[in-house]
């Protein structure tokens, strides 16, 4: 495992989200690599500091009184309100540092969670082809595939038949992503398989399409009508884009 791969997985490792093989790879790497070990310790420290509220410091009233008394003693003519303002301003700066730090950490954790999700999507796609387990229900009829999901999921994924447009519906499969069972709708274009992963999204905004390439696979991601969609295949990007366009129609 490389340093980059390890650093990408550190958050998930510390949150206990990796499977045992993933955890072992991370542990194995940090035993050999001081740089990643340092990163892991920093991250662990930061995470426990945030959890324990260790970043928040409330000055005792006695400290405030002592500081004000000391300044007044040194500078008797300066008005009291000036000290209060200085004190409030220092507190506000400290609070701002904490808030910005927390927001940056949250943002960083979110993007590393997305990296992990993308890796898991690619793994699921590869596994579905390697294990010769591309479908649980094999049918090019969307009236067979769609109801099949009905008894297994608490939402109804689309299972559009795109055979006439050159993307043959092969069937459906249950998979597990983002800590939940998800629908995988499978299409085929010449010898290439395409997995469409669908599950309900907390992000209800219909955002713009996102394209990624990972380990030789192309991915297209979008949100629509409360659902999140991930299309993944070794198919070239223009054809995968065409598939996404047809699915969205
Ligand atoms: Zn390393």
Which tens digit of pLDDT belongs to each residue from 226-247?
899 999 999 999 999 999 999 9
User: What is the pLDDT averaged over residues 21-43?
Assistant: 92
User: What is the pLDDT averaged over residues 28-34?
Assistant: 93
Query: Residue 199: CB partners within 8 Å, gap ≥ 6?
Result: 155, 157, 177, 178, 180, 182, 183, 227, 228
Residue closest to 246 by CA, chosen among 231, 228, 236, 227: 231
Compute the distance between CA of residue 31 and CA of residue 181 in angstroms, rounded to an integer.
Answer: 34
* Residue 16, pLDDT above cutoff 70: yes
User: What is the pLDDT averaged over residues 74-93?
Assistant: 70
Compute the distance between CA of residue 88 and CA of residue 143 in angstroms, rounded to an integer.
Answer: 66
Cα(23) to centroid(ligand 1), Å: 14
Say if CB 210 and CB 195 are below 8 A apart.
no
Predicted confidence at residue 204, as pLDDT, reads 63
Query: Residue 170: CB partners within 8 Å, gap ≥ 6?
Result: 134, 135, 138, 140, 186, 187, 188, 193
Cα(213) to centroid(ligand 1), Å: 23
Cα(214) to centroid(ligand 1), Å: 20
Cα(41) to centroid(ligand 1), Å: 13
Cα(39) to centroid(ligand 1), Å: 9
Cα(3) to centroid(ligand 1), Å: 4
Query: Residue 46: CB partners within 8 Å, gap ≥ 6?
Result: 105
Cα(92) to centroid(ligand 1), Å: 38
Cα(232) to centroid(ligand 1), Å: 29
Q: Which residue has the higher pLDDT, 224 or 81?
A: 224
Query: Residue 203: CB partners within 8 Å, gap ≥ 6?
Result: 223, 228
Q: Which residue has the higher pLDDT, 132 or 99?
A: 99
Write the pLDDT tens digit of every residue in 157-199: 999 999 999 999 999 999 999 889 999 999 999 999 999 999 9
Say if CB 212 and CB 118 are below 8 A apart.
yes
Cα(4) to centroid(ligand 1), Å: 7
User: What is the pLDDT averaged over residues 223-228?
Assistant: 89
Cα(234) to centroid(ligand 1), Å: 29
Q: Which residue has the higher pLDDT, 69 or 37?
A: 37
Compute the distance between CA of residue 69 and CA of residue 88 in angstroms, rounded to an integer.
Answer: 16
Cα(114) to centroid(ligand 1), Å: 21
Residue closest to 148 by CA, chosen among 177, 184, 99: 184
Cα(57) to centroid(ligand 1), Å: 34
* Residue 209, pLDDT above cutoff 90: no
User: What is the pLDDT averaged over residues 10-27?
Assistant: 89
Cα(37) to centroid(ligand 1), Å: 7
Predicted confidence at residue 81, as pLDDT, reads 57
């Amino acid at each position: 495992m490389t340093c980059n791969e390890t650093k990408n997985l550190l958050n998930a490792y510390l949150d206990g989200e990796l499977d045992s093989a993933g955890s072992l790879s991370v542990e194995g790497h940090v035993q050999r690599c001081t740089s990643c070990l340092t990163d892991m310790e920093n991250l662990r420290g930061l995470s426990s500091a945030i959890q324990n509220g260790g970043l928040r410091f409330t000055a005792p009233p006695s400290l405030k009184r002592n500081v004000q008394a000391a300044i007044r003693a040194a500078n008797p003519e300066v008005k009291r309100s000036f000290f209060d303002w200085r004190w409030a301003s220092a507190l506000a700066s400290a609070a701002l540092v904490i808030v910005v730090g927390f927001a940056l950490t949250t943002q960083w954790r979110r993007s590393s969670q997305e990296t992990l999700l993308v890796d898991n999507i690619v793994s699921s796609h590869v596994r579905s082809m390697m294990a010769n387990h591309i479908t649980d229900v094999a049918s090019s009829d969307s009236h067979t595939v769609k109801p099949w999901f009905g008894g297994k999921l608490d939402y109804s994924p689309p299972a559009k038949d795109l055979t006439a447009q050159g993307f043959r519906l092969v069937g459906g499969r249950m998979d597990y992503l983002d800590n939940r069972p998800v629908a995988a709708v499978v299409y085929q274009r010449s010898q290439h398989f395409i997995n469409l992963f669908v599950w309900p999204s907390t992000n209800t905004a219909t955002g713009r399409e996102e394209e990624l390439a990972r380990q030789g696979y192309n991915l297209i991601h979008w949100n629509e009508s409360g659902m999140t969609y991930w299309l993944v295949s070794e198919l070239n990007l223009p054809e995968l884009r065409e598939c996404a366009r047809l699915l969205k129609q």
